Chain A
Amino acid sequence: MPGPSALSLRGVRKAFGAVQAVDGLDLEVPEGTCVGLLGPNGAGKSTTMRLLTAQSIADDGTIDVLGHALPGESKQARAAMGVVPQQDNLDTTLTVRDNLRVFVRLYRVPRDQRAAAIDRALQIATLTERADTKVDALSGGMRRRLLIARALVHRPRLLLLDEPTVGLDPQVRQELWALIDRLRSEGVSILMSTHYIEEAERLADTVTVMAAGKAVATGPPKDLILEHAGRTVLEVYGPPDHLAVVEEAARVAGHDHRRTGTSVAVLRAEGLGGSIGGHDGHERVANLEDVFVMLTGQEVA
């Protein structure tokens, strides 16, 4: 069933001094799919992204990108993929068009196709009207769209997105999701790191949950939810003392549970009939956040 891979990592390890940033990571992006790399801050997502462009060199393991073995053939791999960094690194004193003019050259678009490539990128980012505006004057969402467009000037087969919507308004975030979804439907393979659950749930065909440099679970979001959180979650609200009692009841009944701040979420609650140990709660559908917190032991910010 698994098709050819756009990208695959096997047993990849990378330490910075005493910190083991990536610790035996296995990761696969089947061609034409979007894989979400979900993990808390410090899980090793950004290091993984840097390893894929050979801006970091792995201590151990094998990395294959579009049939090129890294780091030896990383230049060929970089020529065939696009990278959207987490940190905005546009040339802010230049216009939108000039930023793209630089990258059609860096990505070696043949001379006679450069103008068309720039126009196409402007269209993808819906920035055609803003082509001659300086980046300084763009909104955060526009800048992020330009960053994505800049990574697409050479029609890459693989796109790396590092936290593509971090720090953006909800509305702008949804615009970007539509853009990313369109790229995937056009057959571009995508690896997207994120710590936004909803982003991974909406966009990713497969999610790899990462914690402490390892992949702790991999699968389609629906399967992961069913496997690790069940169908239904029972949320019991109350003051802190009461929540401690509810947690004890859940432990006795053998249910995984977690504190969400204002409530205790009891997982696999489908057979409980809306209460646990006599404490009534509110039933809801299990989601990826439940899985994430169970697997990484961390609350989402």
Chain B
Amino acid sequence: MATSETAPPTTPAAGPRRRLGRLERLAIEGVMTREVINWLSFWKSSTFSSTVEPTIYLVAFGFGFGSIVSEVGGYDYVDFVGTGTVATSVLFGSAFSAMFGSYVKREFQRTYDAILAAPVDVEELVTAEALWMATRASIYGCFPLLVAMIFGLDPSWGMLLVPFLCFPCAFGFASFGLLISALVKSIDSFSYYQSLILTPLFLVAGTFFPLDRLPEGVQILGEFNPLHHLVELVRGAAFGFDGWEALARVAALVVFAVVMWRLAIWRSTKRLIT
């Protein structure tokens, strides 16, 4: 019946030979602490760039196209774009900051060297970085909704789900950014991935125009675009979900997140451990 609670207080809590496992909470918390403390020192500029850009898209498209088209897919155009740019904001806040941020921390600031000399493994480092970037991007993702409300979007209870819907998508794109960062030879190479992958994903997500008028091939491709799933989910949260389809989209985002996460760990290990 002896339990650890009855042990005398002099017993050491943990022997020095205690095996350290994988994905330890302490290691992940440590890396995230570093990110949070750093973010607090530059949160203004970081928040500015991650929220103002989608807002500009929202205003430009909302008013630009809004003066020509008043209604799209049964929605007011401002409502349509306001909910759509949530995904844009998530993309900018996760993939871009993961690519550039991790490259700088690895190659220029040598931060990752410092962290990996402490009891932190690459798996924990990548996980912590992706978790933090995803959390931040999910919160930034709500800004376009708030801006759209100023322009007439009606608030709804479902919108409270938006940050949670953003999270798997943001985690996937943060991991994608970490993956690309681990692959490129120089920081200039990011522009290839930006132009060839991220820009098309961003344009063909159903943010600014609905995909259902496009050729069938493009529509099918759209179903492989995580941003499209997020766009549809956010509209669902704002205007009402359509049951199983929404669940399937959440499942797709979770699969995207897990696959990107493991790929990012794999490539980062190859890059950081020589």
The chain B residue sitting closest to A21, CB to CB, is: B274
Q: Is the CB of B274 within 8 A of A16?
A: yes
Residues of A244-260 at the interface with B, using a CB-CB cut-off of 8 Å, are none
A108–B38 Cα gap in the complex (Å)?
19
Which secondary structure characterizes the binding site on chain B? Answer: helix
Q: How large, as a class, is the contact surface on chain A?
A: 20 to 34
Q: A55-B272, A93-B38, A102-B30 are in contact. Are A85 and B117 (CB under 8 A)?
A: yes
User: Contacts A76-B19, A78-B118, A107-B118; is A87 near B31 (CB within 8 Å)?
Assistant: no
Binary B-proximity of A62-99 (CB < 8 A = 1, otherwise 0): 00000100000101101110010101110111100010
Measured in the bound complex, the distance between the Cα atoms of B19 and A116 in whole Å is: 27
List chain B residues, Cβ under 8 A from A56: 273-274
> What DSSP secondary structure best describes chain A's contact surface?
loop
| From B29, B119, B273, contact of A78 by CB (8 A) | B119
Contacts A91-B34, A101-B37 hold; do A106 and B274 have CB atoms under 8 A apart?
no
A231 at the interface (CB under 8 A from B): no
Decide if B38 touches A106 in the complex (CB within 8 Å): no
Q: A54-B273, A55-B113, A89-B110 are in contact. Are A94 and B31 (CB under 8 A)?
A: no
Which chain B residues (1-48) contact chain A, with CB distance < 8 Å?
Answer: 16-20, 26-27, 29-31, 33-34, 37-38, 41-42
Between-chain CB contacts (< 8 Å), 28 pairs: A56-B273, A57-B273, A75-B20, A75-B121, A76-B16, A76-B18, A76-B19, A76-B119, A78-B117, A78-B119, A83-B117, A85-B110, A85-B117, A88-B110, A91-B34, A91-B38, A91-B111, A92-B109, A93-B42, A94-B37, A101-B37, A105-B34, A106-B27, A106-B31, A106-B34, A106-B115, A107-B118, A108-B119
A residues touching B (Cβ–Cβ < 8 Å)?
Answer: 16, 50, 53-57, 67, 73, 75-76, 78-80, 83, 85, 87-89, 91-94, 98, 101-103, 105-108
Show the binding face of B for A, using Cβ within 8 Å. 16-20, 26-27, 29-31, 33-34, 37-38, 41-42, 109-111, 113-121, 272-274
